Structure 1
Amino acid sequence: MTDARFEDGAERPLRLLARDAEDLTVLSALVQDAVLGGADMRYDRTRRRFSLLINRFRWEDEARAKAGGRPYERVRAVLDFSDVTAVAHQGLSRDADTVLSLLSVTYEPEDAAAPEGPAGPGRVILTFAGDGALALTVECLEVGLADVTRPYRAPSGRAPSHPA
């Protein structure tokens, strides 16, 4: 076993997995304000997977960009949900021209009295700007986030904001 080196902290693409509500809170913060086209969602009923190809704002780098060390960035990423048995939506269009902005990802357990640990059956709710939402019924909570491109300069040149 060796000690950690400075180089070990170098930037790398994110690869995260959430298996409980606490993990999902962290993942939700990282995908807040991600944008995607209406056609960038896919449900594979046979494999029981629901995936979104998103353009995620790099919140993990926001402080350094704000300090002037670099431009604000986005990165293409896949947000992947396993063990999905049903998908319901409200107020969303799947048109290729539609642009959606993801606000949050939350988990509602089927059994509120379930013990700590990996989350069992329940619903994952994806909330979008403009009152759109997706509800994914899952047998267990398993959500993956994987960056799939190099970061690129955010087209707006600034961080997303949510005026009160």
Structure 2
Amino acid sequence: MTAPLRLTALDEHDLAAISAALQDAVALLGDFEHSKRLRSFTMAFNRFCWEAGRRDRRVRSGVQIGHVTAARSRNIRQGAEDAVVNLLAIRFEPGEMPSGQVVCTFSGGGELRLDVECLDVVLVDLSRPWRATARPQHETADIGEPDEETQAP
């Protein structure tokens, strides 16, 4: 069994490691929470354990993004608490340093954009791994430009 992940990203290089660990993680939109008061955005995923090698495992993981000043989404159904999303990547688009946007890209063209004062992302595994029913597979394709923008949950 591999050790639970506990990763922190304070720069783009760190965020790339978190993005790789979260590739193909699935979540319910009801497991996303934007706290304006705490200036954070929290998400819970069932993460595929790529680090487990040939053993197909998933683990419950939490991601918290700090110093969030605004949240917007495209092509994500608002109010659909039971809708499932599949995370493809998380990246940072710098603005006037140290601020910028944390961008979460989902399969099907969904996108979440979080304006942040600085990059502050934490990933923590919350459960013991369990056997995955299948190894994630998807074609490499252009995500394209989503066309619908709304305020994030």
TM over 0.5: yes
Cα drift, residue 162 of structure 1: 2.2
Deviation at 1:163, TM superposition (A): 2.5
Matched residue, 1:140: 118
The answer to whether 1:30 aligns with 2:18 is no
Corresponding residue for residue 90 of structure 1: 74
Partner SS for 1:97: coil
CA RMSD of aligned residues (A): 1.3
Secondary structure of the corresponding residue to residue 23 of structure 1: helix
Map Cα deviations across residues 36-74 of structure 1 (whole Å, 9 max, x no partner). 01111001111111010100000111x2x2xxxxx4000
Pair 1:102-2:87 in alignment? yes
Identity, in percent, stands at: 40
Q: How many residues align?
A: 139
If the length of structure 1 is used for normalisation, what is the TM-score? Answer: 0.81
Q: 2:59 aligns with which of 57, 70, 75?
A: 75
Deviation at 1:12, TM superposition (A): 1.8
What is the rounded CA distance, in whole Å, between the counterparts of 2:137 and 2:46 in structure 1?
16
Query: Which protein has the larger Cα radius of gyration, Structure 1 or Structure 2?
Result: 1
Aligned 1:140-159 pairs, distance under 5 A: 140-156=118-134, 159=135
- Distance across 1 between alignment mates of 2:2 and 2:75: 37
SS of match in other structure, 1:86: strand
Could you tell me which runs of 5 or more consecutive residues in structure 2 were left unpaired when the two chains were aligned. 141-153
Which structure 1 segments of 5+ residues have no match? Answer: 1-9, 66-70, 115-119
